[in-house]
Amino acid sequence: MRFDLLTIFPDIFKSYFNESIIKNALNNDKIIIKVHDIRKFSKDKHKKVDDVPYGGGPGMIMTPQPIYDCIQYVKKNNNGPVIYMSPAGDILSQNKAQRLYKTLNGAGGAIILCGRYEGIDQRIIDLCVDKQISIGKYVLTGGELPAMVLIDVLSRFIPGVLGTHDSIAEESFSKALKGKKEYPHYTRPVMFKSKKVPDVLQSGHHAKIKKWREDNLR
Ligand code: SAM
């Protein structure tokens, strides 16, 4: 699955994508991530990408030209939908992420647009954006963190990205757990700060362990 990220702060992504599961997914060609600097597409002689809002008001708005040209460029190599990360978008959940994964899998990926300042010119949304996604009911300074959240949650559905694919089937919010949150986990030592691992989990009795875990879904 290919993700093309459009941003004015391309360096933000380097650290996160260079660690752990996402790094392995990149190295194993399970995902491809290309980061594009919107500023490079600006036709302004000072490479400006923002301007004051028509009608007045605080803050700046990202101008349409550099974003539009960047999207057209990226579309040459990515047939997926254009997703704008926005607090006004459809709020992400595990179920919605799974449905989106299926759609993107068919399309081969997605183009993800990260806003900054007060957001982007509405005409980009009208002309180019297929879907707006929010990662929660709060406002962040930019769309880069939300884009990383989206790529992370989607990547976990790709077979082979996680150690065992079963691990996603039995995670919080999954059908196997009836949409509930996962049972508590324990590892060694048996006793930690006077808190003991429940006896049943040490019993080796699979049926009883299964029942305990079902009873302790949250
Ligand atoms: N003026 C906008 C509003 O009131 O809705 C907020 C703009 S925010 C400061 C700048 C950018 O951050 C947005 O264009 C969007 O890309 C991103 N962003 C902020 N919060 C987000 C959220 N909860 N989910 C997804 N993207 C978000």
The full set of domain ranges for the chain reads: 2-155, 183-215
Strands 82-91 and 131-134: parallel
What is the pLDDT averaged over residues 181-201?
97
Ligand 1 centre to CA of 84 (Å) is: 10
**Cis peptide preceding 198, ω within 30 of 0:** no
Q: Determine the pLDDT at residue 93.
A: 97
What value does the CA radius of gyration of the chain take, rounded to a whole number of Å?
Answer: 21
Ligand 1 centre to CA of 143 (Å) is: 6
Rounded CA gap, 197 and 181, in Å? 20
CA-based nearest residue to 68, from 93, 49, 52, 51: 49
Pocket of ligand 1 (CB under 6 A): 85-88, 114-116, 118-119, 134-136, 138-143, 146
Beta bridge partners of 83: 112, 131
Q: Determine the pLDDT at residue 175.
A: 83
Residue 176: pLDDT band (50, 70, 90) is confident
Residue 165: pLDDT band (50, 70, 90) is low
Return the ligand 1 atom nearest residue 113 CA: 16
Please name the residue whose Cα sits nearest to atom 12 of ligand 1: 142
Buried b (16+ CB within 10 A) or exposed e, 107-146: eebbbbbbbbbebbbeebbeebbeebbbbeeeeeebbbeb
Tens digits of residue pLDDT in 18-46: 999 999 999 999 999 999 999 999 999 99
What is the pLDDT averaged over residues 174-194?
94
Region class of 127: left (phi > 0), else alpha (psi between -120 and 50), else beta = alpha
Q: Supply the pTM of this predicted model.
A: 0.96
Ligand 1 centre to CA of 56 (Å) is: 19
Tens digits of residue pLDDT in 107-127: 999 999 999 999 999 999 999
CATH number of the structural domain 183-215:
1.10.1270.20
Residue 86 clears pLDDT 80, i.e. is over it? yes
CATH number of the structural domain 2-155:
3.40.1280.10
Please name the residue whose Cα sits nearest to atom 13 of ligand 1: 115
Ligand 1 centre to CA of 150 (Å) is: 14
Return the ligand 1 atom nearest residue 88 CA: 5
Residue 195 clears pLDDT 80, i.e. is over it? yes
Ligand 1 centre to CA of 119 (Å) is: 6
Mean pLDDT estimate for the chain: 96
- Tell me whether residue 194 is exposed, middle or buried, using C-beta atoms within 10 angstroms of its C-beta: 0 to 12, 13 to 18, 19 or more: exposed
CA-based nearest residue to 27, from 209, 124, 155: 155
Rounded CA gap, 63 and 119, in Å? 9
Q: Determine the pLDDT at residue 44.
A: 98
